[in-house]
Amino acid sequence: MLLAALLVFLLWPRIEEPLQELFYPVEYRTLIEGACEAQGLEPALLMALAFTESSFDPLAVSSVGARGLTQIMPETFDWLLLKTREKLFFDNLFEPEVSLRYGALLLRLLLDEFGAPETALAAYHAGRGRVNQWLRDPAVSPDGYRLEHIPTNDTRHYVNKVMRAYGKYEEILNS
């Protein structure tokens, strides 16, 4: 047991990076970097979002009907299409480039609206209306701008998971 611990200690610098990329794969890097450059986002954040949302499966469909790498809902996609004035169909979200481009746009809009990445991610998951409702509740947001406590377990877990992946992807992409 002591020998195994010593080996891990000595070999850790050589195995840490490959292990990290095993648990946090880097996929669609070029598309993610392009979408992020267009929206002024850090690629690690969009990569963490796509990894958390779909495990990088471009054909992912959620139980509530969200689609693609970034799991966008039909109503949200329609709202984003009004902003871009593009003529696309909901099925276009199965195309990695489209899903990442629109996921980056949505994330940019939410960051502009809410400021903090945690609050923007909560809105990505639970919806803007719900997050605005939470921000008006002093028990959840004493200052009305940041969520001190996310009141639902699923959204709290989601935000924590994306933020953890974001930290890992920052390490991986910047190494």
pLDDT in tens, 88-144: 999 999 999 999 999 999 999 999 999 999 999 999 999 999 999 999 999 999 999
Q: Which two tokens stand for residue 96?
A: 């990695």
Question: How many CA atoms lie within 13 Å of 34's alpha carbon, on the beta-carbon side?
Answer: 11
Pairwise CA distance, residues 110 & 128, whole Å: 8
pTM for this prediction: 0.88
Q: Can you give the C-alpha Rg of the chain in angstroms?
A: 18
DSSP string, 39-89: HT--HHHHHHHHHHHHTT-TT-B-TT--BTTTTB-HHHHHHHHHHH-----
DSSP 27: -
Decide if 53 is catalytic.
yes
Structure confidence by residue, pLDDT tens digits, 43-88:
999 999 999 999 999 999 999 999 999 999 999 999 999 999 999 9
Beta bridge partners of 67: 61, 72
Q: Which residues contact 74 (CB under 8 A, 6 or more apart)?
A: 65, 90
Residue among 16, 37, 53, 171 flagged as catalytic: 53
- Burial of residue 11 (CB within 10 Å: 0-12, 13-18, 19+) is exposed
